[in-house]
Amino acid sequence: MDAEPFDEFLAGVIARERASRGEHPPRREQKAAMTAARTRRYRLRRRNGISVLKIVCDLPSVSAALIDSGRLSIASSIERAKVEQAIGEVVHEWASRWR
């Protein structure tokens, strides 16, 4: 699971190098690679019993609550991914107490 972010990072580095040389991969290949990566991530999550939940919330209020509870720093609250991760941890902790 840790190799996947590195693979995505490496793909980005390679793409930037190609772009600097004036080489651009065809759009179709790029879309197919993105679809394949998304499918791999989905299958890995499913295999590990992890689901992605989409919720509607008041982001400033949720961020403020996470900051007040000490689960998130003010600097991290700017990054949506960090807020989502903190919410995931809260839900996971809550669920583990109710098992």
Residue 24 lies in a domain: yes
Mark out the alpha helices in the chain (DSSP H runs).
Answer: 3-20, 27-47, 59-68, 80-97
Residue 69 lies in a domain: yes
Cβ neighbours of 66 (radius 10 Å): 20
Confidence of residue 22 (pLDDT cuts 50, 70, 90): confident
User: What's this model's pTM, rounded to 2 decimal places?
Assistant: 0.58
* Domain that includes residue 11, residue range: 3-47
Residue 54 lies in a domain: no
* pLDDT value of residue 4: 67
Total count of domains within the chain: 2
Residue 73 lies in a domain: yes
Examine the pLDDT at 1 and tell me if it is beyond 50.
no
Q: What is the pLDDT of residues 41-98, one digit of tens each?
A: 999 989 998 888 888 999 999 999 999 999 999 999 999 999 999 999 999 999 999 8
Q: Do residue 64 and residue 87 come from a single domain?
A: yes
